[in-house]
Chains A and B, each alone.
Chain A
Amino acid sequence: MSPPPLRRAWARFRAHRTAVAAAVVVAALCLAALGAPLLAPADPLAQPDPVGLQNRPPSAEHPLGTDRFSRDVASRLLYGARVSLGIGAAAALLAVVIGAGVGLAAGLGTAAVDQVLMRSVDVALALPRVFLILLALALWEDAPAWVVVGLIAVTGWFQTSRVVRALALRLRESEFVQAARALGAPRSRLAVRHLLPHVAPAVIVSATLDVGNIILLESGLSYLGLGVRAPAPSWGNMILEGKDQLLSAPWVAVAPGAALLLTVAAFNLAGDGLQDALDPRTDG
């Protein structure tokens, strides 16, 4: 008896050292974000001494120094991780759900449904994503975080839907789908019970890779002053605040910058590892 597919995938993933390291980093980042209130040495918004404690280098009391309002950079970094990871995960999840749903509908539906959905995706892919998001956020001032999540997700599911549709088109010809249909299963059940588990690996991989991209995108928006707005900390607006003192107080911008680099790299490497583990055909 061969082991179940998931156990084999896990064995392959474990053998991939970089991916395991990346997954550990991702887990640590998530824990840090969740535990921010416990781990943070100070209140991220508190300005204990805006004059005397401005732009202090790292010290025992302030491990990553302070910014120009005397706020503790380490604390802001931890709370900023909640924003970055939260928006990244939520938007990636939402995008993947929409993409998988549309992809399954197109792949399993009638030729007309397929045509309408996929031609719409073709058009949508031609739209400039960042520009659209910038425009929406510029018009909706002080948009809450869920709007940012929604905008990123709604403009980010197109590739997933194409991948899922391609898989669904291939699988609908397979004998087990034919057999399930011959037993009276409605299309919706074919999609959810018989096809979804097969497209799940591809979807999980694309979601993981997406998280990194979305974190970057959100940071970019915040850097432009459109995503998460001051005084709430986000890595993007921390870099924005630190850029003017890049030479006099580099820690203010470098800390969130390094965190961003580490996070995005970790998600991408973990995603690659997942891909190799879940889809053996890509084994080098």
Chain B
Amino acid sequence: MSGGAGERGSGAPNGPLLEIADLRVTFATAEGSAHAVDGVDLLVQAGETVGLVGESGCGKSVTALAVLRLIEHPGLIAPGSRVRFEGRDLLALSERDIRSVRGNHLALIFQEPASALTPVLTVGSQIAEVVRTHQGGSRAEARRKAVELLREVGIPDPEERYSSYPHQLSGGMRQRVLIAIALACRPRLLIADEPTTALDVTIQAEILELLDGLQRQLGMAVLLITHNLGLVAERTRRVYVMYGAQIVEEAPTEALFAAPAHPYTQGLMAAVPRLDEPRDRLAAIPGQVPPATAWPSGCRFHPRCRSAFERCQAENPPLLECGAGRRARCWLVEEPVISRQVAKSPRTGQGEGGRAA
């Protein structure tokens, strides 16, 4: 209940809204410690939509949870990690202060609308709960706001739906309720973790339209976490690609899709079915994501990379500048000769790699 609304916008007004620097999260497991997030740097400016892409298990969801300090035992956010939001160091806040940020200035929507709502409480009371947590006020007032929010996210008969239980609503309606909850306190940043993965395609489009409209209306920033490249291409201005608990590429969306710099990103794009380039088979990335307890030495992608050479096995590259606002964690950026050779090689020549050269 500690009032946090008044502090909104304090701190560094011109700095980034969210700044993650050298974020590391480890989980103690029977097989040793798993480095689920290993030195992630990420920026989100106010009002901007940023994508975070990667396969399941690459650490993108853990990154989202770590921002709000929702990592629980046996997970641990390593000392030295930094998460600044609206100029405040979230990792240094007291338990009480971080609670006043969660769901208030910074909201999270989860993947599964079916299971992110408490099944035994009415959806309306769950919205009202968040309103009262962060804004206080009477029950009646919170109820009125909850009904208003239900209307805002396009739920018909909001007065009646207030008293519905989650299982009485469809998947799309539940996701709308979750959006209503997330937006109840008008956050500056919404982290949406696979917000449409569990929904039908038609419903997906509706939900994304809704999110788009609300984002424009509220001027909030969105960090869209997904494995769906189509979604990223359509909705984001900038993208971070994650592999093996690290950011492997960062670029403006258009530039990334025009010419992916990292072989992993190239592989991801080659694996997306396209109507304009008919193919017999989709190009899959060979091999599997290694377990987080045993990342390979050198570049984490090298065992699956068809452009790998000796240096890749020995040294993990840093994020190297490779254009305006672009960085890639790949030695090829520094080795244009090899890069050209790779681009000319017959296997990559037919895919996006050809355009990259």
Contacts and interface: CB of A to CB of B under 8 A. Distances in A.
Top 6 closest pairs, chain A to chain B, by CB:
A183-B103, A197-B120, A184-B102, A179-B116, A175-B115, A184-B103
Given A2-B168, A184-B103, A179 B121 contact: no
Contacts of B129: 183, 185, 189, 193
Contact of A175 (B99, B116, B120, B182): B116
5 contacts: A174-B115, A175-B115, A176-B118, A182-B103, A183-B107
Scoring A177, A193, A198 by chain B CB atoms within 10 A of each residue's CB, the highest score goes to A193
Interface in A1-25: 1-2, 4-5
Contact of A184 (B110, B117, B134, B165): B134
Contacts of A177: 118
Determine the main DSSP class of A at the interface with B.
helix
Given A175-B110, A183-B107, A185-B133, A194 B118 contact: yes
Interface string B70-114: 101100000000000000000000000001111110011011100
B129 to A, nearest CB: 7
A176 B117 contact: yes
A52 interface: no
B225 interface: no
Contact of B118 (A1, A4, A180): A180
Given A2-B167, A193-B129, A178 B99 contact: no
Indicate the size class of the contact surface on chain B: 20 to 34
B130 to A, nearest CB: 5
A184 B133 contact: yes
Given A4-B165, A175-B110, A186-B99, A181 B121 contact: no
Indicate the size class of the contact surface on chain A: 20 to 34
Nearest to B165: A4
Contacts, number: 72
A247 interface: no
A111 interface: yes
Interface of A: 1-2, 4-5, 110-111, 172, 174-186, 189, 193-194, 197-198
Interface in B155-202: 165, 167-168, 178, 181-182
Contacts of A181: 70, 102
A22 to B, nearest CB: 27
A172 B103 CA distance: 18
A184 B108 CA distance: 11
Interface of B: 65, 68, 70, 72-73, 99-104, 107-108, 110-112, 115-121, 129-130, 133-134, 165, 167-168, 178, 181-182
A193 B121 contact: yes
Contacts of A183: 102-103, 107-108, 129-130, 133, 181-182
A194 B117 CA distance: 10
Contacts of A184: 99-104, 130, 133-134
A198 B115 CA distance: 14
Contacts of B117: 176, 179
Given A177-B118, A183-B108, A184-B130, 13 more contacts: A172-B72, A174-B115, A175-B110, A175-B116, A178-B65, A178-B116, A182-B107, A182-B110, A183-B129, A183-B181, A193-B118, A194-B121, A197-B121
A178 B103 contact: no
Nearest to A177: B118
Nearest to A2: B167
Contacts of B178: 179
Nearest to B166: A176
Contacts of B116: 175-176, 178-179
